[in-house]
Structure 1
Amino acid sequence: MARVMLIEDDPSVREGLRLSLSRHGHQVDAVGTGEEGLRRLRGAPADIVVLDLMLPGLDGFEVCRRIRADGPTPIVMLTARGDDLDVVSGLEAGADDYVVKPVRPRVLEARIRAVLRRGSPSAASGAGPEVHGDLTIDRGALTVCKAGVQITLPPLELRLLLELSAAAGQVFSRQQLLESVWDLDFLGDSRLVDACVQRLRTKIEDVPSKPRYVQTVRGFGYRFGPL
């Protein structure tokens, strides 16, 4: 299945999740600190990281930021409570999804599979580059350039941009984006969408607080411009 890096400081929780994920066929490397997790990731990259936020020493938020700075490895964070501040901060740090403790192993495994499914955007065969202002999107090559300079986007942000730009001017609700980009066909958490939009804006907008491309339509959702 997948190579999973599990970073969890509670020994009993760590061992329980390691055993459960292993039974589902995953290869699990389980560690108790963020420092050790980062060290092992540098030596043996994982397909996905399951990361507890409340870690001793280097906390999960900083670990998440460092993993995301190194590349697009998907991250599912574990939070002790569904606290808005914890969840939003974790998503803004670069996490792709979250699960609230106490963790049900079946739920975690399902979220891992969902994140991995959406981790590789599909190329559109025969599609040529599209120019939107100073942004060029090549769906066939799965590349994005701004003012002629290629931008590296993690898979989830790329999927979001591809979805929005495929119908420029159309307004997408957060629930529509959860279904099409996140593969969540139930009432999902709109904070996943909002955090991903914010991260995407920092990379493609000249002024993220005044977006030209990923525009907010208050009370409805988002649309792609410029119109």
Structure 2
Amino acid sequence: MSRLYVVDDDESTRVLLTAYLEQAGHEVKALESGAALLKEERLRPADLVVLDVMMPGMDGFQTLVAYRVLSKAPVVFLTGRDAEPDYCAGLALGADDYMAKPVRPAMLVAKVSALLRRQRDEQGHGRLASVPQCGNLRFDESSHAFLVEDVPMRLTPTEERLLLFFMARFEGAVSREEVLREVWGLPDGVESRVVDETNRRVRRKLAAANADVSIQTIWGYGFRLALL
């Protein structure tokens, strides 16, 4: 049984999401603030956190920054504000996925299950695939670092998973559905723009590092990592 924390200052949201997640077989504790999450995490580490953005005092962004010092557990952001800015900011800070309010509980349960399954797979089988050197980009397994001309890149855990996935398939085309399935663990048919924003950030970081490879979009199909 996985331990989940649902963090939201709105009681009705906490009650609704807790009921659905418990029905799916998870152990769930509802919390009303970021400070409460950090306190609970130190006592009983979570397997996954559902975190609201708009909270009084410490908001979701500030909470995520502090939480990432304590844990790399998956975090799903919730927000009722304009989706795009929150979506980009949350993923850049290390969130694993994002949902706009009002939340569809069944969709949240599906995303939570996918993220937990991915986490178990990584812990049970190791997260590293055999990856070639791709242009001047390489992955050093001993230090778990992505290097461009021996200079390390700074990536979030989700960005690392995505880049490893593409490096293992260098120059090969992969569908959007395959990326969502293999990197995020989402089943076919589940909607998420998380791949687009993560790709955008990784492209920007590769360019800033003077890499001679980039993630290219294949319109109507998916993506590939290829030489510029």
How high is the TM-score relative to the length of structure 2?
A: 0.76
**Cα RMSD after superposing both structures:** 3.4
Partner of 1:76: 76
Instruction: Kindly indicate which of the two structures has a greater share of residues assigned to helix.
Output: 2
Distance of aligned partners of 1:223 and 1:33 in 2 relative to their CA distance in 1, 3 Å threshold: same
* Alpha-carbon spacing, 1:177–1:53, altered in 2? closer, same or farther (3 Å): same
Instruction: Say whether the 8 Å CA contact 2:166–2:224 is kept in structure 1.
Output: yes
CA contact (8 A) 1:214 1:222 kept: no
> In the TM superposition, what is the alpha-carbon distance from 1:7 to its structure 2 partner?
0.7
Quote the offset at 1:165 in angstroms: 0.9
Q: Which amino acid aligns with 1:84?
A: E
Identity %: 35
Q: 1:124, 1:91 → 2: CA distance?
A: 20
Once residues 2 and 12 of structure 1 are traced to their aligned partners in structure 2, the CA distance between those partners, rounded to angstroms, is 23
Q: 1:199 to 1:75 in 2, by over 3 A?
A: farther
Distance in 1 between residues matched to 2:140 and 2:225, nearest whole Å = 13
- 1:164: which partner in 2? 166
Shift of 1:59: 0.9
Distance in 1 (CA, whole Å) between partners of 2:172 and 2:131 is: 20
**1: distance between equivalents of 2:63 and 2:104?**
23
Q: For structure 1, list consecutive stretches of 5 or more residues without a partner in the other structure.
A: none
1:219 shift after superposition: 4.8
Partner of 1:136: 139
Q: Measured at CA, do residues 199 and 46 of structure 1 come closer, stay the same or move farther in structure 2, by a change above 3 Å? A: farther
Q: Which residue of 1 aligns with 2:225?
A: 224
Query: Which residue does the alignment assign to 1:197?
Result: 199
Q: 1:87-127 deviations in whole A, cap 9, x for unaligned? A: 222222221112222223322222110111223434489x7
Unpaired runs of 5+ residues, structure 2, are: none
Distance 1:148 1:211 in 2: 10
Higher relative contact order (CA 8 A, sep 6+): 2
Equivalent residue for 1:101?
101
Shift of 1:35: 1.6
Alignment-derived partner of residue 115 in structure 2 = 115
AA partner of residue 9 (structure 1): D
Name the CA distance, whole Å, in 2 between partners of 1:24 and 1:12.
Answer: 19
The count of corresponding residues between Structure 1 and Structure 2 is 220
Report the TM-score when normalising by structure 1: 0.77
Q: Which deviates more, 15-24 or 216-225?
A: 216-225
Q: How does 1:1-227 map to 2 (within 5 A)?
A: 1-80=1-80, 83-119=83-119, 120-121=121-122, 122-123=125-126, 130-132=132-134, 133=136, 135-136=138-139, 138=141, 143-144=144-145, 146=147, 147=150, 154=157, 156-182=158-184, 183-186=186-189, 188-189=191-192, 191-198=193-200, 200=202, 205=206, 207-208=208-209, 211-217=211-217, 219=219, 222-226=223-227
Which SS does the other structure have where 2:103 is aligned?
A: coil
Residue 5 of structure 1 deviates from its aligned partner by: 1.2
